[in-house]
Structure formats: structure tokens, C-alpha cells
């Protein structure tokens, strides 16, 4: 069966439910988990502004704090379920690539993730990042809906 499950989280309600179910699944099969939060870098078309630099710094600080909070909350759930867990916070322009890369680097044999994240129903049936992970990952993907 599976021994090491990667569970991405962005803190959205469905993502939080996917974390809970992924940890529960890991507990039932005796697997460990790696929780990952991928932060997209600040992106704006205009540049060369003092305001922009301040906005970028504020965004980056906020995104890192939010990711750390989501990972801490998810880590507490894993600890409560007695599931071995580590956390990874990564900044990457393409979250789906960060998810796949982290799964490969950590030796995960399953990715368990929500069908949609913060962006909601970006695609009609499945979220765009989830669809990209499904398309590009060589590691099996379990989607929670």
C-alpha cells in the first residue's frame, strides 16, 4: 500500500477537509505524511514604485505567515492522530510544480489533495492546480471532493 503521503494545503475549507481525511487515511494504513503549502510569489505587471516594494513585502510576509499557520494547524491534526508528519513551506510560481517536486524529493508514494483550493471553482469540475497535478504527476493522486 502507501507509506508516505504528501498532503498540500492552502487553508481553504475544502483543503482543510482534505488534510483531515488524508491524515485519517494515513493513520489507517500506517503511513507518514508530509504537509506542504506552496506560496506563489508576488506578481504584478507594474514596477519601479516605492508603493509596489512595500506591497510586495507585505504580501510575502502575509503569505508566509498564513502558510505557516495552515501547516501548524494541519501538523496538530497529524500529531493528535499519532501520524508521523513533517511540513514544508515552499515558494514557487507554479504551485502544482511545487507539489510534485516536493512529493518526489520527500519520497512520497501518494499525493492526497482537495479538488479545489482558494480559487474556488476555477475550472468547472476540478480546480486548475489539482488538474495540473493530475496531468503531470507520475505519483498517484487521490482527490478529495
Task: List the domains of the chain with CATH numbers.
Answer: 4-144 (3.40.50.620)
46, pLDDT greater than 50: no
Label residue 122 by pLDDT band (50, 70, 90).
very low
Each residue's pLDDT tens digit, 57-71? 898 999 999 999 999
Query: Closest Cα partner for 26 from 44, 46, 5, 53?
Result: 5
Is pTM, for the whole model, over 0.75? yes
Summarize the confidence of residues 88-102 as an average pLDDT.
96
Q: What are the residues facing 142 on neighbouring strands?
A: 112
Amino acid at each position: 500500500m502507501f507509506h508516505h503521503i504528501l498532503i498540500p494545503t492552502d487553508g481553504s475549507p475544502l483543503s482543510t477537509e482534505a488534510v483531515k481525511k488524508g491524515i485519517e487515511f494515513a493513520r489507517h494504513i500506517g503511513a507518514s505524511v508530509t504537509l506542504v503549502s506552496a506560496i506563489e510569489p508576488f506578481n504584478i505587471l507594474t514596477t519601479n514604485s516605492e508603493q509596489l516594494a512595500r506591497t510586495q513585502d507585505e504580501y510575502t510576509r502575509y503569505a508566509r505567515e498564513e502558510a505557516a499557520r495552515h501547516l501548524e494547524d494541519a501538523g496538530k491534526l497529524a500529531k493528535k492522530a499519532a501520524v508521523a508528519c513533517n511540513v514544508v513551506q515552499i515558494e514557487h510560481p507554479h504551485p502544482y510544480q511545487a507539489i510534485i517536486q516536493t512529493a518526489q524529493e520527500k519520497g512520497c508514494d501518494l499525493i492526497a489533495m482537495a479538488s479545489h483550493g482558494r480559487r474556488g471553482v476555477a475550472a468547472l469540475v476540478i480546480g486548475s492546480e489539482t488538474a495540473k497535478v493530475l496531468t503531470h504527476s507520475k505519483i498517484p493522486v487521490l482527490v478529495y471532493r
